[in-house]
Amino acid sequence: MATVSEPQTGDRSNPARWLVVAIPYIWLLLFFAVPFLIILKISFSDTAISIPPYTPVFEGFGAIGDYLSQLDFENYLFLTDDPLYFQAYISSLRIALISTFLLLLIGYPMALAMARAPSSIRPTLVMLVILPFWTSFLIRVYAWIGILKPDGLLTLLLQTIGLMGPDDQVQIFRTDYAVFIGIVYSYLPFMVLPLYAALEKMDNTLLEAASDLGCPPWKAFWKITFPLSLPGVIAGSMICFIPITGEFVIPDLLGGADTLMIGKTLWTEFFSNRDWPLASAVAVVLLLMLVVPIAIFQNQQKKVA
């Protein structure tokens, strides 16, 4: 009588197995958790004229009560008193939401065209999407200054083709429109690539079956293509929205004085005002604003799955 052998599950005590699993957690611990705890610690301190410019807290070893007695929420309370920070948070979220929508609006047709292109030229199209990464990010943003400034290339082009008079100039530089242009240009590959990865794996026979059953192309897109690409939409939106919210370089170089984003506020507090405790409190609140909704969303997705 033949016996049924138990399936091989592998050696769970293999050190290499645990090392592979532990490396990502060690990476997060060293480069996310530890820096965050340092910033959190500084946010409970007071500003001081010294190096570093804050009073040390939680120094040495002691009882938990001693540590709790050192908690100072003054910096967090100040954020609620000064409307500047609330406006900076709201403005950052507004710019990030509009930019992410524009990226999705532009990136989705590009990714769909790449996924529908012949397989022989898809690698070339992917290379063209990531080609801007071969140039420095700062150089690419500075290039937009030369394009968008009043006497820049855009004004020269419109004057040459007759859409503007010789004395007219494009007034886009140092406005929110310039910030949107710079953000969309810089973050477009981060939106296109996740969308392309989701669309490229889609079974095109589903569209053929829908067409055979009399479904028009636009309806097949909303009933089949878009729902199947939702993982790419969500991934691309998250990848773009999170860094855009804390963006500093693009608003500083392309935006004007009225372009208020939390990244610029952080830089001002850290380097101009040298108020590290307050800047740390701003950074902690920003992180919680981004991490908590994402964690709730991922938890809901797991429940649905």
Q: Which of helix, strand or coil describes residue 150?
A: coil
* Torsion angle defined by CA atoms of residues 293, 297, 299 and 300, in that order, rounded to the nearest 10 degrees: 140
Portion of the chain with pLDDT greater than 70, in percent:
89
Spell out the alpha helix ranges (H) of the chain.
15-28, 34-43, 64-69, 74-81, 83-116, 122-130, 137-148, 153-160, 176-200, 205-212, 217-220, 226-228, 230-245, 249-254, 262-267, 276-304
Mean pLDDT of 255-282: 88
CA distance 8 to 5: 9
- Identify the pLDDT of residue 257: 77
- Identify the pLDDT of residue 295: 79
Give residue-wise pLDDT tens across range 61-114.
Answer: 454 545 555 667 888 998 888 898 999 999 999 999 999 999 999 999 999 999
Per CATH, domain 73-304 is 2.40.50.100: no
- Identify the pLDDT of residue 167: 83
- Identify the pLDDT of residue 44: 87
Give residue-wise pLDDT tens across range 198-238.
Answer: 999 988 888 889 888 888 989 999 999 999 999 899 989 99
Mean pLDDT of 227-253: 92
- Identify the pLDDT of residue 304: 52
- Identify the pLDDT of residue 14: 73
* Residue 133 DSSP code: G
- Identify the pLDDT of residue 227: 92
For residue 155, which of 141, 174, 173, 181 has the smallest C-alpha distance? 173
**Domain boundaries defined on the chain:** 73-304
CA distance 247 to 104: 18
CA distance 280 to 53: 12
Q: Which of helix, strand or coil describes residue 204?
A: coil
Mean pLDDT of 30-36: 90
For the chain, the average pLDDT equals 86
CA distance 100 to 107: 10
| Phi and psi, residue 21, nearest 5° | -75, -35
